[in-house]
Amino acid sequence: MSSKSTTENKATDAKSVARESKDRLKRITKTRSHHIRTTNRVIKYGTKSFVRNTWLSIAAVAIMTITLLVLSATLIATHVMNTAISQVESQVDMSVYIKRSATQAQIDEITSRMRALSTVTSVKATSPTQAQHQTIKDIIEKNNITDESQINELYEAPTMLPWVINIKVRDLRDTSEIERFVESDDSMKDMLDAKTPSYADEHRKTIDYLGSIINRIEVFGLGAAGVFALIAILIVFNTIRMAIFNRKEEIYMMRLVGASRGFIVGPFVVEAALYGIIAASAAGGIVYALMFSLAPRMGGVVTPTLDLMANYWYFAVAALLTAGILLGVISSLLATRKYLKIK
């Protein structure tokens, strides 16, 4: 009886010791110092794995760099083309011709109502006299006329030009509002000159052409970036898979001693994140070096893009790093989920 009691007491003591050990382990794993040590080890193991698989790492970094370069080139080209369109729009206006018999009050009413339109950015009216003087100045400069009598004759000639109202709109591809105004607004009734209004049709064709180029660049660039991103994910996926197979026994031992899922998966995630960081750094360096070295040959159209890149370089760096790390982390998580059956 005493022997049975002793055995029961030993079992109880063993359970008590095991429970205390388990509780102590839980307390240790919740401490800040434990988390720091675990993180350091995960980073250390991930870096070692990155160095160990040198050629696979180089291949993964190279394809991720190409992916980020294609994506960056697409965004830069789109911004440059949009800048070109904005410059064309800012320099081009439309002209509406009003009968020269119109009074200043009538012109003021028309221009006031035009400025109220949502698509209009500026309106400027030129009187027949002002238009005539400007035309005469152009004729004198073009023909290099110096004879005072000829100049006086030009200025004394009767004014035959109409009022000209120059209008700038937000988007030259959408002039429907101003066209409806000219055709149907009460202030325009019987005011139009015989000369047909100019709605910048030629410039609109240029802008439409540039817009179609932008669409093609975006579709091609994003499509190419997507293809390279898929290739990068597959390469990183296979690299992580091989690393898992190479460390199969080590992972098995970690499971036996109760290592957490984060401790086992973490090094593979760190390794893939390193691919993304190095690829983002390389892509960023190449993009900035090319843009600032080729800028003098590309003209002023790239200046706003260069200014944007120079003033907000930290956003560009952050975006590249984020994209690169995401590519790597997604690939590693897919690989570890498939080949590491850890609950």
Give the pLDDT confidence score for residue 204 in this predicted structure.
67
Q: How far apart are CA 7 and CA 166, in angstroms?
A: 105
SS3 271: helix
In 3D space, the residue among 182, 197, 200 whose CA is nearest the CA of residue 97 turns out to be: 197
- Shortest CA distance to 112 belongs to which of 188, 197, 189? 188
- Identify the CA nearest to 218 among candidates 83, 74, 84: 74
For residue 318, which amino acid is it? A
C-alpha dihedral sign at 302, 308, 313, 317:
negative
Strands (DSSP E) found in the chain: 94-98, 120-126, 163-169
What is the Cβ-side half-sphere exposure of residue 285, based on CA atoms within 13 angstroms?
A: 7
Tell me the C-alpha distance between 174 and 182, whole Å: 15
What pLDDT score was predicted for residue 1?
47
Distance of alpha carbon 67 from alpha carbon 276, whole angstroms: 11
Q: Report pLDDT for 26.
A: 53
pLDDT given at position 294: 78
φ, ψ of residue 124 in degrees (nearest 5): -135, 130
Residue pointed to by tokens 């009886």: 1
**pLDDT tens digits, the chain, 343 residues: what are they?**
455 555 555 555 555 544 554 455 455 455 566 567 777 877 787 778 777 777 878 888 888 899 899 888 888 888 888 887 777 777 777 888 898 888 899 999 999 999 999 888 889 998 888 888 887 787 777 877 777 777 777 677 676 788 989 888 887 777 888 888 888 888 888 888 888 887 766 666 776 776 777 778 878 888 888 888 888 888 888 888 887 787 777 777 777 766 777 777 888 888 888 999 999 999 999 999 988 887 777 767 788 888 888 888 889 999 999 999 998 888 888 888 877 765 4
Domain positions in the chain:
36-86+208-339, 94-199
Backbone Cα Rg of the chain = 36
Q: Tell how strand 120-126 and strand 163-169 pair up.
A: antiparallel
Query: Cα 181 vs. chain centroid, distance in angstroms?
Result: 37
Query: What CATH code is assigned to 94-199?
Result: 3.30.70.3040
Tens of pLDDT, residues 189-220: 888 888 888 776 666 677 677 677 777 887 88
- Residue 277 is predicted with a pLDDT of 92
Q: In what order do the strands lie in the sheet with 163-169?
A: 94-98, 163-169, 120-126
β-partners of residue 122 are: 168
Query: CA-to-CA distance for 158 and 132, rounded, in angstroms?
Result: 9
Residue with tokens 């401790």: 263
Q: Is-contact 163 194, C-beta < 8 A?
A: no
The dihedral sign for the CA sequence 43, 46, 48, 54: negative
